[in-house]
Structure 1
Amino acid sequence: MSEQQRLSAGDKAPGFTLPDSEGNDVSLSDFRGKHVVVYFYPAAGTPGCTKQACDFRDSLAQLNGAGYQVLGISPDKPAKLAKFVEAEQLTFPLLSDPEKTVLTEWGAFGEKKNYGRVVQGVIRSTFVVDPEGEIAVAQYNVRATGHVAKLLKDLKLTA
């Protein structure tokens, strides 16, 4: 596998502005002064991505209550994201990065193993950005199932 950029705790979070499911621009800088969970996923509506999004949705009150905002980013176009938001009753912004620019800057797009083969694709990843705009947590190759529960534990929001 070739070396690709990876972010680590302490790095400055790369800024971005992307359209959400309704076509409105959302910028990371909109959340300055807050903790933000930014997660990258391959495709809206697929089983793993649906499970992960629903886990975030179901944990949102706990995350928001502790001062964390959640943003999901995928290469899907806003229209597909809108259908996903409606179908799963998601209550946090999903952002569209069809050119994969932000995915690449955050190290969430590149070579990965899929069923033993090396392919180019979205690397399921989760980051926590602190109020100053630095990466507090960087997790690559996370599992769709059980990931949100592990994140809550890592953030000491659950026993």
Structure 2
Amino acid sequence: MSESELITAGKHLHLRRYGTWEYVTRANASAIVIVVAMTDDQRVILVEQYRPPIQARVIEFPAGLAGDIAGAEDERFEEAARRELLEETGYEVGELTHVFDGTSSAGLTDETVSFFVAKQVRKVAVGGGDASEDIEVHEVPFADINGWLKSRVVAGRMIDSRIYSGLYLLGTSSVFGM
């Protein structure tokens, strides 16, 4: 692959051109980590927050950037996953398993997403995100998740499409003994 051309650089994102294709890269992170977590009593841990690009509140798995903290640019993805779950939800991870890596939107960005499954989680803090975030934590019984998600859509919420990848992992993955 030949070099791409920088079109413009923002604080967090860069717009680049490769041939006739324009795409976005992150200026301050190495990847996104997503944590698919379920409590011992079979409750799926989800977060809800306002996303300005789509001007809506979105239901998501806890997630965040790896390598976005000054002085910790080489942060391991597992460390970022543990940090983000605690920061956003107040849950600490007992066992964390990297399941797969994928693209976030291959036609728009070179960004990758690392999925982790968290077991033996326990509530140790309030959560809610950092000072720049307004995160609401939801603990939804796995048996009721489909109906709950539908009710959130009826209430005007958007559902992050990666929720369905995570639910597939919860329903088929041996990491939860299911």
TM-score by length of 1: 0.26
More helix by share: 1
More strand by share: 2
- Larger RCO (CA under 8 A, 6+ residues apart): 1
Larger Rg: 2
TM-score by length of 2: 0.24
